[in-house]
Structure 1
Amino acid sequence: MHLTYLSILALVTSSHALIRFGCSQLVVDRLDPLVEPGNAPSAHLHQIIGGNSFVPDMSPATHDPPAMSTCTTCQPADDFSNYWTASLYFRARNGTYKRVTQKGNSGFEGQNGGMTVYYMQNQLADYLQKAKVKAFQPGFRMLIGAPTASTKAEADKFPQLTYTCLQDPGTRFPETKEFPRKPCPAGIMVNLRFPTCWNGKDIDSPDHMAHMSYPANGTFESQGPCPSSHPVRMPQLMYEVIYETAPFNDASLWPEDGTQPFVYSFGDTTGYGNHGDYIFGWKDDALQTIMDEECYVGCTSMKTQIMDAMNACSVGRKVVEDIGDEDWIPALPGHVNATWTTASKTNVFRA
Structure 2
Amino acid sequence: MLAYYLLYGENVTAFPDNFRMIAGDTYLRDFPWPIPDPPKSEWTGKQASQQALRQKAIGFNCLNYALDPEPSLGRHFLPNKTYLDEHCTDGVRFELMFPSCWNGKDVDSDDHKSHVAYPSLVMDGTCPQGFETRLVSLFYESIWDTYAFKDKEGYFVLANGDPTGFGYHGDFMQGWESGVLQQAVEQCTNPSGQVEDCAVFNIQSEDKQQQCTFDMPPALKHEKVTLTSGGLPNKLAVQWGPAYASDVSASVSSVVSSALSAATHAVASASAELSLHASAFGNNLQVSKPTSTWTPTPTTSYVESAVTQAVVYVEQEIIVWVDGQKNILGTGTGSLETLSTTTRTTTRVVSTVVTVPTEAPVKREEHVHHVHKRHGHGHLHQRS
Give the TM-score taking structure 1 as reference length.
0.54
| Aligned-residue CA RMSD (Å) | 2.8
SS of residue matched to 1:292: helix
| Paired AA for residue 280 in structure 1 | Q
Counterpart of 1:211? 115
1:136 matches 2:15: yes
SS of residue matched to 1:185: coil
Counterpart of 1:168? 65
| Paired AA for residue 21 in structure 2 | M
Distance of aligned partners of 1:323 and 1:153 in 2 relative to their CA distance in 1, 3 Å threshold: same
Larger helix proportion, structure 1 or 2? Answer: 2
State how far apart, in whole Å, the 2-side matches of 1:288 and 1:241 are.
26
Distance of aligned partners of 1:337 and 1:120 in 2 relative to their CA distance in 1, 3 Å threshold: closer
Distance of aligned partners of 1:274 and 1:220 in 2 relative to their CA distance in 1, 3 Å threshold: closer
State how far apart, in whole Å, the 2-side matches of 1:169 and 1:301 are.
37
State how far apart, in whole Å, the 1-side matches of 2:100 and 2:25 are.
18
Query: Does the CA contact (< 8 Å) of 2:55 and 2:76 recur in 1?
Result: no
Counterpart of 1:120? 6
Distance of aligned partners of 1:317 and 1:199 in 2 relative to their CA distance in 1, 3 Å threshold: farther
State how far apart, in whole Å, the 2-side matches of 1:137 and 1:288 are.
9
| Paired AA for residue 178 in structure 1 | F
| Paired AA for residue 228 in structure 1 | Q
Counterpart of 2:287? none
Aligned residues: 211
Shift of 1:220: 4.7
Matching of residues 223-302 of structure 1 within 5 Å: 223-248=124-149, 250-251=150-151, 253-255=152-154, 261-293=155-187, 294-296=189-191, 297=193, 298-302=197-201
Distance of aligned partners of 1:202 and 1:241 in 2 relative to their CA distance in 1, 3 Å threshold: same
State how far apart, in whole Å, the 2-side matches of 1:235 and 1:169 are.
33
State how far apart, in whole Å, the 2-side matches of 1:185 and 1:266 are.
25
SS of residue matched to 1:331: coil
**Quick one: which of 224, 233, 254 aligns to 1:322?**
224
Counterpart of 1:148? 27
SS of residue matched to 2:32: helix
1:188 matches 2:97: no
SS of residue matched to 2:184: helix
SS of residue matched to 1:176: coil
Distance of aligned partners of 1:280 and 1:273 in 2 relative to their CA distance in 1, 3 Å threshold: same
| Paired AA for residue 184 in structure 2 | I
Unmatched runs of 5 consecutive residues or more in structure 2: 34-50, 240-244, 249-384
Q: Identity over the aligned pairs, expressed in percent?
A: 30
State how far apart, in whole Å, the 1-side matches of 2:235 and 2:175 are.
32
Query: Does the CA contact (< 8 Å) of 1:162 and 1:176 recur in 2?
Result: yes
| Paired AA for residue 95 in structure 2 | N
| Paired AA for residue 116 in structure 2 | M
SS of residue matched to 1:276: strand
Highest relative contact order (Cα 8 Å, sep 6+), 1 or 2? Answer: 1
Distance of aligned partners of 1:138 and 1:171 in 2 relative to their CA distance in 1, 3 Å threshold: farther
State how far apart, in whole Å, the 1-side matches of 2:129 and 2:27 are.
29
Distance of aligned partners of 1:178 and 1:336 in 2 relative to their CA distance in 1, 3 Å threshold: closer
State how far apart, in whole Å, the 1-side matches of 2:213 and 2:32 are.
40
Shift of 1:243: 1.4
**Quick one: which of 290, 302, 305 aligns to 2:204?**
305
Distance of aligned partners of 1:193 and 1:234 in 2 relative to their CA distance in 1, 3 Å threshold: same
